[in-house]
Amino acid sequence: MSCALLLLLTSLALVMGTGTAVEIQRPRGVPQSKRQFYEENKPFTCLDGSSTIPFDQVNDDYCDCRDGSDEPGTAACPNGSFHCTNAGFRPAFIPSSRINDGICDCCDTTDEYNSGATCQNTCREMGRKERESLQIMAEITKEGFLLKQQLIHEAKRGQEDKQGKLTELQGSKKGLEGKMEALRTVKKTAEDPEKEAKERHLKSWEEQKELIRMEKDKTRMAEAFLELDDDADGYVSVAELQSHLELDPDSDGSLTETETQGLLGGAGKVDTSTFETVWSGIKDKYLSEGLSDPPAPVETPKEEESRDFVSDHDSDHYPEDYAGEEEDVEDDEEDDDHEEEEKVPPTVQTPEKREDDELSMPPYDTETQILIDAAQKARDDFDEAERALREVDGQMKNLEKEIGFDFGPSAEFAYLYSQCYELSTSEYIYRLCPFNRVSQKPKFGGSETNLGLWGQWAGPEENLYSVMKYDHGQGCWQGPNRSTTVKLTCGKETVVTSTSEPSRCEYLMEFTTPAVCQEPASLDEVLHGHTEL
Amino acid sequence: MAAFVVSPLKMGPLLVLWLAGCLSGTWAVDRGNFKTCDQSAFCKRQRALKPGQSPYRALLETLELTNTKLTLQLINDNNKVRLLLELYRLQGNMTRVKINELKPLKPRFEVPDVLINDPPTEPLSLLSRDENGVVLSLGADSQRLIVSAKPFRLDIMEGREVLLSLNSRGLLAFEHLRIRKDTQASQQFEIAKEDEKVEDGMWEETFKSHTDSKPNGPSSISLDFSLPGVENVYGIPEHADSLKLKATDGGDPYRLFNLDVFQYEVFNPMALYGAIPVMLSHSAQRTMGIFWLNAAETWVDISSNTGSSETPQTDVRWISESGIIDVFIMLGPTPTDVFSQYASLTGTQAFPPLSALAYHQCRWNYNDQEDVAAVDQGFDDHDIPYDFIWLDIEHTDGKRYFTWDPHKFPQPKDMLQGLLDKRRKMVTIVDPHIKVDSSYKIHNEIRSKGFYVKSKDGGDYEGWCWPGNSGYPDFTNPEMRAWWASMFAYDQYEGSMENMYTWNDMNEPSVFNGPEVTMHKDALHGNWENRDLHNLYGLYVQRATAEGLIERSGGVERPFVLARAFFAGSQRYGAVWTGDNAAEWEHLKISIPMCLSLGLVGVSFCGADVGGFFKSPSTELLVRWYQTGAYQPFFRAHAHLDTPRREPWLFGPENTALIREAVRQRYALLPYWYQLFYHAHHSGQPVMRPLWVEYPQDTATFSMDDQFLLGRDLLVHPVTEEGARGVTAYLPGKGEVWFDVHTFQKHNGAQNLYIPVTISSIPVFQRGGSIISRKARVRRSSSCMEHDPYTLFVALSPKRFAQGELYIDDGHTFNFDKQKQFIHRRFSFANNALSSRNLAPGSQFTTFSWVEKIVILGASKPSKATLKTPDGKESQLEFEFDASMSVLTLRKPGVNAGLDWTVVLQ
């Protein structure tokens, strides 16, 4: 009355009742390759050798062997496996737990012989479908592989081109370096006399200015003496000076006689020549009686400052420094041009204002100007050489970077470099730029999100070039930085076929390219290689 | 799923801004979002009242005794307000104490729909009466109830022992309803009484930016209970705290107020998602229970003199914001009695479909149908069983529940059919907040029928939740519930099928922009404020949903509904889980006391998110969590949207194997789980039990948090320490033995046993004297195992005796109940004979399952084993005997599991 008995009977019925079931000549669930271990009417030894049981305990729905080998056709052993022949399709092993569980696992229905499940034999249909799809795949692989050969060829040529270009650039770099060194010497040679001449010019200008100043001072002193000498007796007396409260040494608002006398060097009055000494003590404070405006104080520091401005404007340093800066700026953003303009005006305006009350430096003499022009030319030449070298360096760097990329064993992925591929979904446009970055842009407005920058090849050891990894994308709210895994499959065309986000901020992209197509096995081999009949 | 934080991408900018404001960068609960007792005006007022002479006096002349109850008026001598006391002696050794205002200004809220019936009474008889009070007989065991008049106090005595006293500390405080003084109407009542001085927070209270209007003014109630001889109290879930409740002196009381607490912390008395106002007291002498039937915000203070030289005593004080005092005192005396007593009041655990006891795979979110199919296939590819795959909020069309995202889930029936073909099931989420959207049918119907909760101004109450602006259906309204239930009909819930069940999350309810992330207390459910019934809302949601699932099958199929918020009685409607925990070892540990606490107060179907909801678990933690979860009632893995994927096969073959093994152990043990749940359903006994429930006199077990029993017979001590190399399990029972279920090694009871562990260890022991049925053929879902044979594990006691049960039915319908279609067997081993006999002669059911193997632990070698069946046939069984472990294995008895049989060993 046990189910086991029922089960045994059913299997018998199956064997005897259906004339076509000839293939079940071995115990249920045993593959052909193990047929010899299950010999009817002989004691069965578990395949791990752990024990030996009577043959009627094989497939009796009770697990006797530790390795499950006595129950290949029932669900009795937790670690057993069941073999479905699946004639017309591919044979398969399924875990014993799927025998008679009401779910059709084997396309030949043999796993559900006692569950009440109604399974259709779908092996032929599945076999046909598989063959069809394999055929299609095989064709794709074949064509893809041809394309791949072409890609490899192109990549090789491209690589050679690049290598050639690089060698060429290396040559011209050497030339440029030599040239630059030479020009550096020329520049130095031209700049030394220039500097000397300019200094000379400056020095004589300084001397000249000092003379002018001294002259001016003398005139003021004489004017002051005349002004102070109220009684025009040729002497400035204490009384005459006392009206000048601004000279009060202790600034208490009154200029005493003693204080005044002190200003006059202890004397009661002074003549013109002695006044010279007195003048030097009071000239900074002295206010002219006739003028409402205070005299322009002779402030040396300020004068120097403004002079610096003037000389800076013509300075040889400034333009050079500025040129360098300008170049950097241009590299960055165009907007910075405005900044440049803003920087200039103050240096231009200040001297203009000063020109009114100050004498400007006279132009360089012809001799000096010639030296300056010569030096400027040397500088320009040098700068140009340097720029040319930088350009070559940049080109070389890019080339080296490209050459250095791992484009696969035969550089078959090189053609993807500096290309981009897009896929449009209901919400977003995804963009894959191989070896560069992956991004996502909302279809209906919104800014682009960086889903990762090129990281590395990340396939399994035996197939490294089947997966690309892009990481360090835009950070996720409360999460990691976005990253994308790109799975590559063989296809005739280079297309992004799907994208998904299996985990938050971890994207998955499917990408077909001929570059991963493997050399096709012969179709027959694909279709029949593993079929057991 | 789901506290109130979600990626900004999912929400409107307003919400994002608001969230950004609320979130602190550190990982912990933001305590500032939730009230302390001090910030809750009534709790502060009540707690300011110190123990002392009670102002209440019993007016003995008003005493009336009828067949069913005693009534008596109490007067507060300070303000002359009278209360009405009702005392009932209930069948099954319980006393009910009800106190309400004698003449309240308007009716006060009395909790409906929680008691399964009007509890049957037994007559009280007056033993004596004088001017000091009365003594009443409580019937059995010389139990008496003493009512003292001045001050008013109640004592329940047994013999000379006081079991429990009420108001012995004078903390009975009943804020009577009153008319607001500053309104015109109050002019005529200008009798200013001393205790009626208006305090802050009586008529209005503000917390953070929220003002609670409190139109009814102060209405809180409080009562104290003293438990002489008691050192241990348990229960009052839900708190992330130890099993044994702690004294609350100097800290906040335990709070019961259903709240969506974002990133809750362990070991504190803060309120969480659910509230069951039931406390158990336990000592070596007696177990009792206090059921405080009140659904308003409630705080529970516990103080204990433990440690002092006097008789131990625990004092408990309950404080609720509104309603009445309605308290059930369950007098035990055993834990089993208390469980039965409580079950007689609020009902028992819903008997879940068998598959709901199997493994559930969840994640916020499985992205689309292809994702579901891939995960389903992943389980088969890795030979890991599972029964349910879950869809969180993202499966809907813009968080409109009862709908599907048309792009991600265009063909839900195809998806469900795919699962059905593998004999598997699905759960979809249906939350109680409804998107306010005039193109959403559900919203329009609720609005037009007037089913939404109303705001204090009378309009539909609205708050923010997942969909943005949302309405909250008034589930307290039976018409609303009936309508809601009807929405689960297959023709209403488009794309649903019979293998699709339901998850009610956020049913506290969660209101992102509400006070304490929940509904305003002055929102209106008909005439009642949310204040009065707040903690009931979640129960009603789950109830309406469960009723919907029953109805859609014409009353045939058992429902399965998971809810986050709950109340006393929620056990009748499905399962609960411990909400949004975190991938931390502390959270794994706390899952044990949290579910034990729930089990003690009726809710057996409890689990924690395996792996932890927030954050990403280490592989070791994930494996340990699977191993622990496999032995907890509700076994579901879940993960936050922002965490990396963690399906069991993503951590390398070794860890996949470890998780597979844990899940397989669960499946093999499903017959035992099912039997335990049948018991829980039948008699109210918890499935997962603290050790003291079965060893009530063993004081060593009273505060154990790290191990538990399943039923009586399995002791589980999961490994919950990082990097553990061993655990010390306590095996209770002097003179008893326990068998390691994996090695069959025998250990003596009443000892601390050190068990060296590896990453594959799940220490589980079977009690000597028990018989447990397993199904050793683990298949890809529990349904696939329906007809599989059983293996009986007979663990002999030192006296060579054992007993066990087996329960079988169709696994999913109510036929077990309505048509008595089930098998309930008793297995007994005595005198060297193992027999199976029918425990339910009135029932009938046939099973294909048979007994494939009998493993007898602690056996000696027989010379032969004979199987006898009622038809008189006898047959010899082959057997194997492992002398080193004393394990006898009987080969293939082959008898049908529903029949009588005996195996005799000679």
A98-155 tens-digit pLDDT: 999 999 999 999 999 999 899 999 999 999 999 999 999 999 999 999 999 999 999 9
Nearest to B896 among A1, A60, A103 (CB): A1
Residues from chain B that touch A500, judged by Cβ atoms under 8 A, are 367, 370-371
| Residues B854, B901: Cα–Cα separation, whole Å | 13
**The B425-429 sheet, strands edge to edge:** B606-607, B575-577, B561-563, B500-504, B425-429, B388-391, B359-361, B635-637, B609-610
Torsional sign, CA A65, A66, A71, A77: positive
Is the CB of B894 less than 8 angstroms away from the CB of A2? yes
Instruction: Determine the pLDDT at residue B204.
Output: 94
Helices A345-355/A300-313 angle, 10° precision: 130
| Residues B196, B699: Cα–Cα separation, whole Å | 47
What DSSP designation does B677 have?
H
Nearest residue of B to residue A102 by CA position?
Answer: B784
Reported as half-sphere exposure (CB side, CA atoms, 13 A), residue A418 has a value of 4
Cα distances (angstroms) measured from residue B654 to each of B374, B409, B430? 21, 34, 37
Question: Which neighbouring-strand residues pair with B525?
Answer: B528
Residues B107, B219: contact at Cβ < 8 Å?
no
Q: CB distance from B736 to chain A under 8 Å?
A: no
What DSSP designation does B202 have?
S
Burial A376-394 (b: 16+ CB within 10 A, else e): bebbebbbebbebbeebee
| Residues A246, A287: Cα–Cα separation, whole Å | 7
Is the CB of A501 less than 8 angstroms away from the CB of B422? no
Residues from chain A that touch B377, judged by Cβ atoms under 8 A, are none
Q: CB distance from B753 to chain A under 8 Å?
A: no
Reported as half-sphere exposure (CB side, CA atoms, 13 A), residue A131 has a value of 15
Pick the closest to residue B516 from B123, B33, B69 (CA basis): B33
Residues from chain B that touch A449, judged by Cβ atoms under 8 A, are none
Is the CB of A97 less than 8 angstroms away from the CB of B779? yes
Is the CB of B423 less than 8 angstroms away from the CB of A101? yes
Per-residue pLDDT of chain A (533 residues; tens, 9 = 90+): 444 444 443 443 343 333 333 444 578 999 989 999 999 889 999 999 999 999 999 999 999 999 999 999 999 999 999 999 999 999 999 999 999 999 999 999 999 999 989 999 999 999 999 999 999 999 999 999 999 999 999 999 988 898 899 999 998 889 888 888 899 999 888 888 888 888 888 898 888 888 888 888 888 888 888 888 888 888 888 878 877 777 777 777 777 888 888 878 777 788 888 888 888 878 877 877 665 454 444 444 444 444 344 344 444 444 344 444 434 433 444 444 444 444 444 443 444 444 444 567 788 888 888 888 888 999 999 999 899 999 999 999 988 888 888 999 999 999 999 899 999 988 899 999 999 999 999 988 889 999 999 999 999 999 999 999 999 999 887 667 899 999 999 999 999 999 998 888 899 999 999 999 998 876 566 555 544 44
B675: phi > 0 → left, psi -120 to 50 → alpha, else beta; which?
alpha
Q: Helix, strand, or coil here: B74?
A: strand
Burial of B393 (0-12, 13-18, 19+ CB in 10 A): buried
Distance from CA of A121 to the nearest CA of B (A): 16
Is the CB of B642 less than 8 angstroms away from the CB of A476? yes
Provide the percentage of residues in chain B whose pLDDT is more than 90: 92
| Residues B684, B383: Cα–Cα separation, whole Å | 36
Distance from CA of A63 to the nearest CA of B (A): 9
Q: What single-letter amino acid sits at B748?
A: N
Output the CA angle B896-B898-B899, nearest 5 degrees: 75
Q: CB distance from B895 to chain A under 8 Å?
A: yes
Per residue, the 3-state secondary structure of B731-795, as one string, reads ECCCCCEEEECCCCCEEECCEEEEEECCCCCCCEEEECCEEEEECCCCCCCHHHHCCCCEEEEEE
CA diameter of chain A: 160
Distance from CA of B155 to the nearest CA of A (A): 56
| Residues A76, A95: Cα–Cα separation, whole Å | 11
Residues from chain B that touch A111, judged by Cβ atoms under 8 A, are none
Residues recorded for chain B: 906
Which residues numbered 851-870 in B keep a CB inside 8 Å of some CB on A?
Answer: 852-853
In B468-565, alpha helices (H):
478-486, 530-533, 537-552
Nearest residue of B to residue A4 by CA position?
Answer: B894
Which residues of B form the catalytic set?
505, 580
Residues from chain B that touch A508, judged by Cβ atoms under 8 A, are none
Q: Which residue, among B5, B365, B424, B777, would best test binding to A if mutated, counting the most A CBs under 10 Å from its CB?
A: B777
Instruction: Determine the pLDDT at residue B196.
Output: 59
Is the CB of A426 less than 8 angstroms away from the CB of B407? yes
Which residues numbered 497-516 in B keep a CB inside 8 Å of some CB on A?
Answer: none
Is the CB of A97 less than 8 angstroms away from the CB of B777? yes
In the predicted model, residues of chain B with pLDDT beneath 70 are 1-27, 140-141, 182-197, 306-309
What DSSP designation does B520 have?
-
Nearest to B778 among A3, A97, A426 (CB): A97
Helix (H) or strand (E) holding B829: strand B823-830
Q: Which residue, among B394, B779, B853, B882, would best test binding to A if mutated, counting the most A CBs under 10 Å from its CB?
A: B779
With tokens 């996502």, the residue in question is: A440
Nearest to B784 among A61, A103, A477 (CB): A103
Spell out the residues 6+ positions from residue A454 whose beta carbon is closer than 8 angstroms to its own: A434, A435, A436, A437, A468, A470
| Residues B725, B417: Cα–Cα separation, whole Å | 46
Q: CB distance from B10 to chain A under 8 Å?
A: no
Torsional sign, CA B442, B444, B449, B450: positive
Instruction: Determine the pLDDT at residue B490.
Output: 98
With tokens 């948090």, the residue in question is: B705
| Residues B582, B585: Cα–Cα separation, whole Å | 9
What DSSP designation does A359 have?
P
Residues B281, B290: contact at Cβ < 8 Å?
yes
pLDDT tens digits for range B149-185 = 999 999 999 999 999 999 999 999 999 999 987 655 5
Distance from CA of B667 to the nearest CA of A (A): 12
Residues from chain B that touch A103, judged by Cβ atoms under 8 A, are 421-423, 780, 784
